[in-house]
A and B are shown apart, each in its own frame.
Chain A
Amino acid sequence: NAGVTQTPKFQVLKTGQSMTLQCAQDMNHNSMYWYRQDPGMGLRLIYYSASEGTTDKGEVPNGYNVSRLNKREFSLRLESAAPSQTSVYFCASRDSGTGLQGEQYFGPGTRLTVT
């Protein structure tokens, strides 16, 4: 199984440009997440989707939008990129069908630079 996949792996944007980060999982998980990782700060939750058709804000949602396209796919959109959004973005999924017991599985990340 591929697990959690993300595209693209690297991206450079200019301030004000828009882009969508794609994430897909093939584990039939209900819950999916978007995090950003900045040096010295660990990972912070941007948005999550507990199940298909639902999305909720995390700790740092400003400047981002998400779409849970179907059970497999969860995309993150930057409408007008800012240098403060330079970061590494990780997508994750979790099987919440067993309640709160499941591990989160992470994709390889997208390294985004905004100039």
Chain B
Amino acid sequence: KQEVTQIPAALSVPEGENLVLNCSFTDSAIYNLQWFRQDPGKGLTSLLLIQSSQREQTSGRLNASLDKSSGRSTLYIAASQPGDSATYLCAVMFSGGYNKLIFGAGTRLAVHP
């Protein structure tokens, strides 16, 4: 079964810390992987999309990497701020699952001043 796992489920860090969120997936045959942010009671906002042919994508303080062979992606957040507090979701479009995203359960991040 194609599954996506995110560890840890929750993370609390002091402001200014660099941090890494982890995403693992069970099948290395993927089309792409997408990282989302979700604020409480809100919808999902796309942060980064990595195609299967790419190794990483960057947007501002965010950097996402992809290692298909090991079935892993990481989201690196530099110099964290209280405004980064949210749930971060990883989603994978597997080959053969055309058009379907499989989501992890998310990592709930709290950045305290």
Q: Which residues of A contact B (CB under 8 A)?
A: 31, 33, 35, 40-45, 48, 50, 56, 58-59, 90, 92, 94, 96, 100-101, 103-109
User: How many pairs of residues, A versus B, come closer than 8 Å at their CB atoms?
Assistant: 57
Cβ of B36 to closest chain A Cβ, rounded Å: 8
Cβ of A93 to closest chain B Cβ, rounded Å: 11
Q: Which residues from chain A contact B98 at a C-beta distance below 8 Å?
A: 50, 100
Number of B positions contacting A (CB below 8 A): 24
Judging by beta carbons under 8 Å apart, are A45 and B100 in contact?
yes
Judging by beta carbons under 8 Å apart, are B101 and A45 in contact?
yes
Judging by beta carbons under 8 Å apart, are A90 and B101 in contact?
no
Judging by beta carbons under 8 Å apart, are B89 and A42 in contact?
yes
19 A-B pairs with C-beta separation under 8 A? A42-B103, A42-B106, A44-B103, A45-B101, A45-B102, A48-B100, A59-B100, A100-B31, A100-B32, A100-B98, A101-B32, A101-B51, A104-B34, A104-B101, A105-B46, A106-B36, A106-B44, A108-B42, A109-B42
Cβ of B41 to closest chain A Cβ, rounded Å: 8
Judging by beta carbons under 8 Å apart, are B99 and A108 in contact?
no
B46 contacts which of A35, A59, A101, A104 (Cβ < 8 Å)? A104
